[in-house]
Every structure is written in C-alpha cells, then in structure tokens.
Amino acid sequence: MRLTKNQISDQNKSGLDSHQHSYDFLTEKLTKNNHDVNQIIEKIRAFQVAIPSWALGAGGTRFGRFSFYGEPSNLEQKIEDIGVLHCLTQTAGAVSLHIPWDIPSDYTAIKQKAAELNIKFDAVNSNTFQDQKDAEKSYKYGSLSNVDQAIRAQAIQHNIDVIGIGDKLGSKGLTVWLADGACFPGQNNFQTALQNTQDSLIEIYKILPSDWSMLIEYKPYEPNFYSTVIQDWGTSFMLANECGDKAYTLVDLGHHLPNTNIEQIVSVLMLKGKLGGFHFNDSKFGDDDLTVGSIKPYALFLIFNELVYGMQNNPQNPDLAWMIDASHNIKDPLEDLIQSLEAIQEAYAKALLVDQEALRSAQLENDVVAGQEILQAAYRTDVRPLIEKARLLSGGALNPIDAYRKLNIRGQLIKERGKNTIATGL
C-alpha cells in the first residue's frame, strides 16, 4: 500500500491551529534564548534513520512469537512498509538489509521501488550467527573466530558476498556482528579466538570498496553466556584499528552491561574518529530491544548530547550510519517504529538546545550545579512542536501514530496481504 500526500494533509487539518499556537510560543521562547529555530528544524529534517528489514514483522523471544496480521512476506513489501513509515514521519528514509534473509531477487525492481519511496540503502548486515539451509559448515562453535580454517573461510566468503549484494544496491557499509564466544570456561582459547577474528576481519576488509566502511559491532553476552569474542567497544576499536581507516566501531544501545556510561563511549570514539554506526533501542536489563526512549529517555538525551557535540567538534569522525535495532513481541511493529523514530527526533532536538558555550564555561569554572542546570534546561524543554514543524515542512503527518490509526493502515495491510503472512528472518 502507498499513502498519498492528500491523505496526510487531510489528517493534519484538524491539528494545525493547535500546533501553530504551541510552535509560536516555543519559538518565541527559544529565540529569546538565542536559538536559531529554523536551523534546528532543518537539522531535524535532515536526520534520517535506517529501518532494518527484520523489524517490520512481530519480533519473538525464545519462548514464543505472537504474529501480527498483515506482515510483509517479502522484501518488496518490507520496503513498502518503510515507505509508509517514511511518508508519515519523514525520518525513515533508509533501509538496512539483513543477508541472507533479504536477498533481492530482482535488483532493478527493488532499487526502483526504494527510489520511488525516497528510501536509500544503508549498511548491509551479514549473518554468521545461524546456519543457513544449504551451508556446508556449521557456525555452532563460531564463525570468524572458529578454530577450523574452512569454517572461517566460509564466514569470510559470506561477508564478501554480502558486500557484493550491497554494492549492487548502492549501500556503502557492511555491519558485522558476531555471536562468536563461549558458553563455558575452557571452551575456547581467548587469544586464539581474538586472533582468528582479527585475521578474518582483515581478509574481509581487503576487498571492501574504497568508498565503503566496515562497522564492527560488539556485545558483552548472549547468545554465549561466558564470553563473547568482541565483547566491548575497546575490543571493537582495537580490531577496527588493526583493519584500517575504513573500519569503525558500531555502538548498539542494548549491547552493554547495565548502567554502562554509553555517552562516554560515544564521546571517546568520536574524539578518535572511530564511531561509524549507531543502533537505537532501549532496555531495562539486557539486550531487550525495546522501543527507543521507552525506558531511559534521559540517558538517550545524554548520548545525543555527545553525538551532537561530536558532530560539531570532531571532523575526524565520519557521518554516522543510524539504524533502529529494536523488535519485540507485543506492539504493531509499525507503531513501535513510529514511537522509536519520534523518541530519536526528540532526543536529538533536545541535544541541539544544549548551550554548549555556557556548558563549557561552567566546566572551566568547575560549576557542577550550572553544568547540570544547562543540560536539564534542554532536556526539560518540550520540543514536540519543533518536530511537528519539521514533519509538516517535509510533507509528513502532524501526529504519525494518530494518522496511522485513523487511516486504518494495519487494516488495509491485512486486507492486502491476509492474516497469516510471516515476515522472513524471524
């Protein structure tokens, strides 16, 4: 299904007066405080987040999966769903493919469909955390780190194949996340596992096109519960340095032990020019993959504050590949993604309001109270009128969730696709 501009502007009509009122009020206040509101809105409009191809169906846990009707059953339908999201929110202008779950059967047709919906192909993701039907070798005991050279070679070749697929679509990045590790002490040799991983990554890096980047993701545990080979940002950073200039660390918000200071990690990586990608989600205990901003919105703001600082002060760091990496069991996946996209925009807009100059002065004077006041003044500002304005200017919905429901989009998807479709890859 495809939404039209008219459908959206019809939905917007009833809320325009109220929006304008709160927008004018906020603009007056921000302008008095020396903020350039138009510039902030342009930044919000330019901020685009990739939607992963696996997030459009209902997610599952190892205990069960409760289907959501009208799910997209092929890549074409997944791109259509992202088209709906982008049309409503104007901030989901990219897709991140997971290979081999979403290998295009017709490249020209998929590229055309994405172009029509104004969607770009972001980083492609390889998968060596599960065995594929026709695979010769098993990744049960690891992929790029495996003690068996033939298994490592198969995993290296898979990543090379993924680069080939991404290249045909116009992607510029490969994301590597490894499940490799050990469930029990004595299962593997830490040094051998790391050395094998490094050597394998270098083999993949060697064939990376010159305008591509390789993003190395880390995670402390799960599915292995004793050790993960790339367990933390330091290990990823070290491997990226060993590979070369086009290799970077990728931070996934859910891939940290509880209470890790993620904003500090972001800050250090940007200073070193090595933060390449970012996966958004939220969590209470582990890699919960909950809706962005649903559990720890202040932490998300503090992270964005460092991202904004880095984007303004660290020209040595490249533009980041932004992606939502959340998927769960309960909500309509499209509504969930809309909520995540709004939380991201909100945290970004608030971070843009931080008075960096005043913060710097407070820090130089060791005025701890002032530092906190400056951050919280930005955090406590209700920036939603700015996000609404950014969406309106781009042709999106004033209230995307409301429009999604009033237009009965899920109902239409069920009519088109039926009740029993299941998204691939989950």
CA distance 343 to 39: 20
Residues 6+ apart with CB under 8 A from 340: 280, 281, 291, 292, 293, 324, 326
What SS3 state is found at 43? helix
Give min distance, CB of 145 to Mn ion, in A.
Answer: 18
Pick between residue 256 and residue 279 the one whose CB is nearest to Mn ion: 279
Give min distance, CB of 217 to Mn ion, in A.
Answer: 6
Q: How many CB atoms lie within 10 A of CB 183?
A: 13
Please list every residue from 209 through 268 that binds Mn ion, using CB under 5 A. Answer: 252
Tokens 């270098």, located at residue? 202
Give min distance, CB of 219 to Mn ion, in A.
Answer: 8
Pick between residue 200 and residue 281 the one whose CB is nearest to Mn ion: 281
Pick between residue 306 and residue 325 the one whose CB is nearest to Mn ion: 325
Give min distance, CB of 236 to Mn ion, in A.
Answer: 12
Pick between residue 325 and residue 332 the one whose CB is nearest to Mn ion: 325
Q: Which of 201, 217, 281, 219 is nearest to 250 (CA)?
A: 217
Sign of the CA dihedral running 40, 42, 43, 49: positive
Pick between residue 81 and residue 252 the one whose CB is nearest to Mn ion: 252
Stretch that binds Mn ion, among 19-27, 144-152, 241-249, 325-333 (CB under 5 A): 325-333
Give min distance, CB of 271 to Mn ion, in A.
Answer: 23
Pick between residue 123 and residue 349 the one whose CB is nearest to Mn ion: 123
Give min distance, CB of 322 to Mn ion, in A.
Answer: 12
Give min distance, CB of 126 to Mn ion, in A.
Answer: 12
Pick between residue 122 and residue 252 the one whose CB is nearest to Mn ion: 252
Give min distance, CB of 281 to Mn ion, in A.
Answer: 8
Burial call 198-226: b when 16+ CB within 10 Å, e when fewer? bebbebbbeebeeebbbbbbbbbbeebee
Out of 325, 332, 342, 346, the only residue in the binding site for Mn ion (CB under 5 A) is 325
Contact 99, 165 (CB under 8 A): yes
Please list every residue from 275 through 294 that binds Mn ion, using CB under 5 A. Answer: 279
Residue 122 phi, psi dihedral angles, 5° rounding: -85, -165
Give min distance, CB of 98 to Mn ion, in A.
Answer: 11
CA distance 325 to 62: 18
Dihedral angle of Cα 271, 274, 278, 283, to the nearest 10 degrees: -70
Please list every residue from 7 through 36 that binds Mn ion, using CB under 5 A. Answer: none
Pick between residue 205 and residue 218 the one whose CB is nearest to Mn ion: 218
CA distance 53 to 105: 15
122 is a site residue for Mn ion (CB under 5 A): no
Stretch that binds Mn ion, among 67-75, 271-279, 338-346, 415-423 (CB under 5 A): 271-279
CA distance 336 to 292: 9
Pick between residue 123 and residue 407 the one whose CB is nearest to Mn ion: 123
Contact 12, 398 (CB under 8 A): yes
Residue 184 phi, psi dihedral angles, 5° rounding: -140, 150
Question: How many residues at the interface with Mn ion, by CB under 5 A?
Answer: 3
Give min distance, CB of 91 to Mn ion, in A.
Answer: 19
CA distance 378 to 376: 5
- Binding string to Mn ion for residues 184 to 203, with x set by CB under 5 A, is what? --------------------
Tokens of 273: 């020019």
Pick between residue 139 and residue 404 the one whose CB is nearest to Mn ion: 139
Contact 174, 215 (CB under 8 A): yes
Binding residues (CB under 5 A) for Mn ion: these are 252, 279, 325
